[in-house]
Chains A and B, each alone.
Chain A
């Protein structure tokens, strides 16, 4: 078997991620950069615009199956969602239903709402949530891939968790409010955003996977994301608390009731626990956690979850 050097998911641009995730040459972009649908709101504030407004959407093949791909560019305005950017994501989710896609791959790399057009961004994220529910109701799984420089925060942190599966790298980060925001408002004693190890122990892939907020921990390698997404697509595994809502399936209520109990139990963790390290200690896991590679770590958690 041919093996090639890993290509970092984190360092790749949104376009390179799309290329690396799909079967070679299979990607067709919708409303691509040549159409120049840029943000009028950034322009009004004399801020730089991008030809694709920071998100690539289109369709292609994954293991010969038709999929819709959405990839946010974290380096453009922190992957933040504005009017055009959000409308492209919403349109792509709805088109997945039209083309009967086998799955949607949603590469989230975003701090949330774009402040330059904050109201438009907030409404857009709500519209993305509605469109995501519609895709799921049509039986199309949405798979979140989190491993970019911005992680998945703000409204996009919520969107990522609405997905049927959430794949995250060790370097990937997932949360609601970024550490900088918490530090600014609540002070450095609450959250020291410059303590990178602490930030990783709160928001990083390993602790997210530990708590069940992510489905699978991956190496920072596009091929690893591709393989895991293909496996998810084939229905090997779905998130426990994410029912496919085809109308109101009889078990949808029970599934969410079970998720409610699960989340209540987590919230009841000793109030003194404020660090991922304490969570691992509480589970009886020691220093070895930091050293385990993603495959080992997934196996370790799966054994405990059984």
Chain B
């Protein structure tokens, strides 16, 4: 396992942990003051392909099956550059594998497992959608990079000058990469700093609501002003 992931686990679980890394997939447990939690995740900016998606969904299903009526929290470590780009993977139906993984994560939630995601490294697009972004609470660790697309690629595709995009990114969190932008939009619940007691902070997150509060958070923080109100209007409006 990489030094940085080992250091992360030591810091999160000073009372002990046993996490195995195989093929960019992390799987194991960590000891918190409130008891053991499952640790499931990816490393080295993994490009999520069918193999990794299946390993993750298998780990989630095993956790649900093993815990039975005493569901323990699941801590996801997200470190992904996005989905694997490959013709073979598309032929197999990678989107279907991601959907399966998402269903497994949702099954765990329904079964009472608290779901916490820690972004350590990168969290990009489809790879992030499939599991990390589905948690009850999402935390970005220092240096975490969260994005759909970098601004140069976006400039190329939208034909909007790069300079204009960087200028606008100063005012609006909606398109430029950055964990802080996602925080302002409610897509990330907390940004941890390097000096805090992560073990204590993690433990504080192991209880809480299962509701999807992200749109409301985005409105409160001012980064996503329409998502909550538009959904509410559709939900309760008269036409």
To the question of whether A and B form a pair in one complex, the answer is yes
- A residues sitting closer than 8 Å to B (CB atoms) are 28-32, 37, 40-41, 44-45, 47, 57, 83-84, 86-88, 90-92, 94-95, 98, 113, 115-127, 129-131, 133, 137, 152-155, 157-162, 174-177, 179, 181-182, 185-186, 190-191, 202-203, 207-208, 211, 213, 241-243, 245, 247-248, 252-253, 256-257, 259-260, 263-264, 266-267, 269, 271, 273-276, 279
- Contact between B86 and A186 (Cβ–Cβ < 8 Å)? yes
With most chain B CB atoms within 10 A of its CB, the pick from A126, A154, A182 is: A126
Classify the interface of chain A: helix, strand, loop or mixed.
Answer: helix
- Contact between A122 and B61 (Cβ–Cβ < 8 Å)? no
Give chain B interface residues in 29-58, CB to chain A under 8 Å.
50-51, 54, 57-58
Contact residue range for chain B? Answer: 35 or more
Q: Which residues of A contact B237 (CB under 8 A)?
A: 30-31
- Contact between B100 and A211 (Cβ–Cβ < 8 Å)? no
Convert B108-146 into 0s and 1s, putting 1 for each residue whose CB lies closer than 8 angstroms to a CB of A: 001110000000000001101110011000000000000
Looking at the assembled complex, report how far the CB atom of B184 sits from the nearest CB atom of chain A, in whole angstroms.
9
19 contacts between A and B (CB under 8 A): A28-B239, A31-B230, A45-B158, A45-B160, A57-B234, A87-B230, A120-B227, A122-B148, A127-B215, A159-B99, A162-B103, A175-B90, A186-B86, A202-B90, A248-B110, A252-B110, A256-B57, A263-B50, A263-B100
For the complex of A and B, list the 6 residue pairs with the smallest distance between their C-beta atoms, beginning with the closest.
A91-B234, A161-B99, A118-B148, A87-B230, A157-B95, A91-B231
Q: Which residues of A contact B57 (CB under 8 A)?
A: 256, 260
- Contact between A253 and B88 (Cβ–Cβ < 8 Å)? no
Given contacts A40-B226, A119-B176, A271-B88, 15 further A-B contacts (CB under 8 A): A90-B215, A91-B233, A115-B149, A115-B154, A116-B158, A118-B175, A119-B174, A120-B175, A126-B133, A130-B212, A158-B129, A253-B64, A256-B103, A257-B61, A274-B87
Q: Which residues of A contact B89 (CB under 8 A)?
A: 176
A269 to B224, CA, bound (A): 44
A177 to B89, CA, bound (A): 10
- Contact between B235 and A95 (Cβ–Cβ < 8 Å)? yes
A124 to B147, CA, bound (A): 14
With most chain A CB atoms within 10 A of its CB, the pick from B130, B168, B215, B235 is: B235
- Contact between A87 and B231 (Cβ–Cβ < 8 Å)? yes
- Contact between A185 and B95 (Cβ–Cβ < 8 Å)? no
Q: B204 contacts the other chain (Cβ, under 8 Å)?
A: no
Convert B198-239 into 0s and 1s, putting 1 for each residue whose CB lies closer than 8 angstroms to a CB of A: 000000000000001011001000001011111111110101
Q: B85 contacts the other chain (Cβ, under 8 Å)?
A: yes
Give chain B interface residues in 2-43, CB to chain A under 8 Å.
none
Q: B78 contacts the other chain (Cβ, under 8 Å)?
A: no
Looking at the assembled complex, report how far the CB atom of A80 sits from the nearest CB atom of chain B, in whole angstroms.
11
Q: Which residues of B contact A241 (CB under 8 A)?
A: 100, 103
Q: Which residues of A contact B176 (CB under 8 A)?
A: 119
Contact of B61 among A41, A98, A176, A253 (CB under 8 A): A253
A277 to B212, CA, bound (A): 43
- Contact between A137 and B230 (Cβ–Cβ < 8 Å)? no
Q: B187 contacts the other chain (Cβ, under 8 Å)?
A: yes
- Contact between B235 and A91 (Cβ–Cβ < 8 Å)? yes
Contact of B129 among A28, A30, A122, A153 (CB under 8 A): A122
- Contact between B230 and A91 (Cβ–Cβ < 8 Å)? yes
Q: Which residues of B contact A29 (CB under 8 A)?
A: 239
Convert B53-72 into 0s and 1s, putting 1 for each residue whose CB lies closer than 8 angstroms to a CB of A: 01001100100110000000
A146 to B218, CA, bound (A): 31
- Contact between B93 and A266 (Cβ–Cβ < 8 Å)? yes
A32 to B234, CA, bound (A): 10
- Contact between A98 and B230 (Cβ–Cβ < 8 Å)? no
Q: Which residues of B contact A86 (CB under 8 A)?
A: 227
Q: B74 contacts the other chain (Cβ, under 8 Å)?
A: no
A195 to B232, CA, bound (A): 44
- Contact between B234 and A182 (Cβ–Cβ < 8 Å)? no
- Contact between A127 and B83 (Cβ–Cβ < 8 Å)? no
A45 to B175, CA, bound (A): 11
A97 to B239, CA, bound (A): 17
A153 to B98, CA, bound (A): 12
Q: Which residues of A contact B226 (CB under 8 A)?
A: 37, 40, 83-84, 87
A127 to B133, CA, bound (A): 9
Looking at the assembled complex, report how far the CB atom of A44 sits from the nearest CB atom of chain B, in whole angstroms.
7
